[in-house]
Structure formats: C-alpha cells, structure tokens
Amino acid sequence: MASRKYAVSSTAITNTANATMQSVDATASTRVSLYELLLGCTANSTMTDDNATYRLTRSSGPAGGGNQITPMPLDGTTPASAFGTAPGARNGTYTTKPVAVTPGLTFGLNRRATFRWIAAPGSEIMSTASTSSGVIVDTVAVSVAYGMDMTFLIEEA
C-alpha cells in the first residue's frame, strides 16, 4: 500500500500561554507520524520583537477542544485521512490538554521569524495506534499573544 501523507494547516491561531494550538489524534488502528512542522506569524500581524516558547509533544490523551479541521492529501488520489473525523485534527487556542505528554521538541521563536522542523529519516514523531494518543503543538510562554500560522506534514502509519 502506498504511503498516505497529508497537510494539516491552520491560520491566525492566537498563541495564548499554556494552550494547545494544533493537534492530530490517532485512531484505534492508525498512528500519527509527524515528519515536518512549519510555524510563523500571521501576515496581518504587526511585526514587533515579541517572542514565545513552543513545544511539540506526543500526547497520551486526546487534546479535545478547538475546531475540527480536515487534513489535505498531498497526493490528489489519496483517500480522505483517518484523522479527518473527531477527535482527529484540531486547531484553535484550547486549554483542554492531554493528561500525560512527552515533550519532543521545545523551541523559542521571535515574532519576526519563521520556524521549520524536518525530521531526519527514521526520526519522525509517532503516536501509538490509540484514540487516546496523538501529537500537539502548544505554547509554553508568550511575551504578548499574537496570531500564528502552522502546518503539520503527517503520514498515516
């Protein structure tokens, strides 16, 4: 079976401290494999020297909250993602967090910067195949809340 890869994108998510910005929850039979993350300030935001700390995390509980979003297949012949139904892929600023999390990457970012993380081959962040696991990006701390755009590139594993 061919690989099923998807983009999960969000725009103008407010980076409130201690809140989840975007998440993808696994299903009982499909794991989430995150291999690329892009993050930057929303275009209509005032460019000042504000900063924030973000955390990419493998979770062991559904994130909940936020808004349902539909992953876009990177190949137009790929069927709809298993992550397209609730809880699935979600965005928005929501404080309903998983019970337990395992930080995978923590990074600071100036509002004027764009951040891109690409996993080395074989080093993707993968969830377990369970409805109570997935991957999330949350905001650890912010100097001032502002809008962020974010994209996950994921694969069903």
Going from N- to C-terminal start, the domains of the chain cover: 5-156
Above 60 in pLDDT, residue 1? no
Q: Which of 62, 87, 56, 82 is nearest to 151 (CA)?
A: 56
Q: Which pair of tokens denotes residue 67?
A: 């808004």
Please tell me the total number of residues recorded for the chain in this structure.
157
CB atoms within 10 A of CB 20: 28
* Mean of pLDDT values over 132-144: 87
Above 80 in pLDDT, residue 44? no
> What is the widest separation between alpha-carbon atoms in the chain?
47
Q: Which pair of tokens denotes residue 104?
A: 């995978």
Structure letter (DSSP) for residue 84? G
32-41 and 147-156 beta bridge pairing: antiparallel
**Cα–Cα distance, 62 to 130 (Å, whole number):** 10
Judge if pTM exceeds 0.75: yes
**Cα–Cα distance, 123 to 138 (Å, whole number):** 20
Per-residue pLDDT band for 62 (boundaries 50, 70, 90) equals low
Q: Which of 137, 103, 109 is nearest to 40 (CA)?
A: 109
Task: Tell me what pLDDT residue 42 has.
Answer: 84
